[in-house]
C-alpha cells in the first residue's frame, strides 16, 4: 500500500511544483539562463527532500523532477521548448561526465564469476522489449515495416542505464558492482546494435513512408 502511495505523492509533488513554477515564470520575466539555474535548484531540493523524509515517508525525488518537467510543458509549453534548447546544450558536457564516471567505477573482472548469463539476460530482455513494442503498436496506422523499424529503434539503451546503474553500488547493495557492470554491458551491446540496425534498415523499412511524403510534397 505504501509503495503506490509513495509514487502517487511523488508525482503529485512534481506536478504542483511545475504548476507553481509555470505561474511564477509567467509573472516574473527573467532570462532563460536564470530559469534554468532555478530549475536546477528546485530539482536538487526535491532530491534532497527525498533524503530528509526517508525516515518519515518515502518519496522519489527523481520521479518528482520528471513530473515537474511534464507539468511545465503542460502549463507553459513555450517556456518548455526554450528550456529544452538550453538543457540540450548543457547535456553535451554532462553526458560525457556521466559516462566517464560510470566507466571509472566498472570492474570488468566481475564477469569471470558470472559467465555469459548477463549476455543471455540482456538479449532475452531485448527480445521481450521488441515484442512488447510491436504489440503496443497493433492499433496504430503504422504498417508492419514501420512497426518493425520502431522495434529496432527501441533497442539502444544508454543514458538511463548509465544514470541509475551505479545507484545500487553507492547504496552499498551486495551485488551493486555486478548490477553496474551489467548496465554498462547493456550499453556496449544495445547501442551499436540499435544504431547499425536503424541505419541499415531505414531505407527498406521506411521506404513506403518516404514515398508518401514525396508524393504529398509534389502534390
In the block, residue with C-alpha cell 496506422? 141
Predicted confidence band at 217 (pLDDT cuts at 50, 70, 90)? very low
C-alpha span between 41 and 49 (Å, rounded): 12
- Name, in order, each residue with C-beta under 8 angstroms of 76's C-beta and a sequence gap of 6 or more: 22, 25, 26
What's the pLDDT score for residue 147?
Answer: 92
Across the range 2-27, mean pLDDT stands at: 89
SS3 call for 60:
coil
What's the pLDDT score for residue 208?
Answer: 52
**Mind listing the pLDDT tens digit for each residue in 180-210?**
888 888 888 888 888 899 999 888 888 654 4
Q: pLDDT > 70: what percent of the chain?
A: 90
**Mind listing the pLDDT tens digit for each residue in 89-138?**
887 787 787 777 777 767 777 767 777 888 888 889 889 999 999 999 98
What's the pLDDT score for residue 130?
Answer: 92
Burial code of 52-61, b = ≥16 C-beta within 10 A, e = fewer?
eeeeeeebbb
DSSP string, 89-103: HHHHHHHHHHHHHHH
- CA–centroid distance for 5 within its chain: 23
What's the pLDDT score for residue 207?
Answer: 65
Tell which wins on pLDDT, 54 or 83: 83
What's the pLDDT score for residue 214?
Answer: 38
C-alpha span between 38 and 41 (Å, rounded): 5
Predicted confidence band at 12 (pLDDT cuts at 50, 70, 90)? very high
What pTM value is reported for the model?
0.60
**Mind listing the pLDDT tens digit for each residue in 127-181?**
999 999 999 998 899 899 999 999 999 888 777 777 677 777 777 777 788 888 8
Amino acid at each position: 500500500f505504501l509503495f503506490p502511495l509513495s509514487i502517487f505523492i511523488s508525482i503529485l509533488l512534481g506536478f504542483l511544483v511545475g504548476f507553481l513554477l509555470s505561474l511564477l515564470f509567467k509573472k516574473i520575466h527573467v532570462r532563460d539562463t536564470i530559469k534554468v539555474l532555478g530549475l536546477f535548484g528546485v530539482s536538487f531540493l526535491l532530491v534532497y527532500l527525498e533524503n530528509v523524509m526517508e525516515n518519515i515517508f518515502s518519496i522519489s525525488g527523481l520521479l518528482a523532477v520528471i513530473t515537474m518537467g511534464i507539468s511545465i510543458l503542460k502549463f507553459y509549453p513555450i517556456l518548455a521548448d526554450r528550456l529544452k534548447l538550453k538543457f540540450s546544450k548543457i547535456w553535451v558536457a554532462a553526458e560525457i561526465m556521466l559516462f566517464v564516471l560510470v566507466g571509472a567505477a566498472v570492474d570488468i573482472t566481475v564477469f569471470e564469476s558470472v559467465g555469459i548469463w548477463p549476455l543471455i539476460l540482456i538479449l532475452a530482455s531485448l527480445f521481450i522489449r521488441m515484442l512488447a513494442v510491436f504489440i503496443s503498436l497493433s492499433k496504430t496506422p503504422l504498417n508492419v515495416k514501420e512497426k518493425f523499424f520502431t522495434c529496432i529503434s527501441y533497442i539502444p539503451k544508454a543514458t538511463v542505464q548509465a544514470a541509475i546503474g551505479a545507484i545500487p553500488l553507492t547504496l552499498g547493495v551486495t551485488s551493486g558492482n555486478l548490477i553496474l557492470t551489467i548496465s554498462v554491458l547493456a550499453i556496449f551491446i544495445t547501442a551499436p546494435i540499435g544504431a547499425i540496425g536503424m541505419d541499415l534498415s531505414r531505407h527498406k523499412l521506411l521506404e513506403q513512408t518516404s514515398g508518401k511524403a514525396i508524393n504529398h510534397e509534389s502534390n
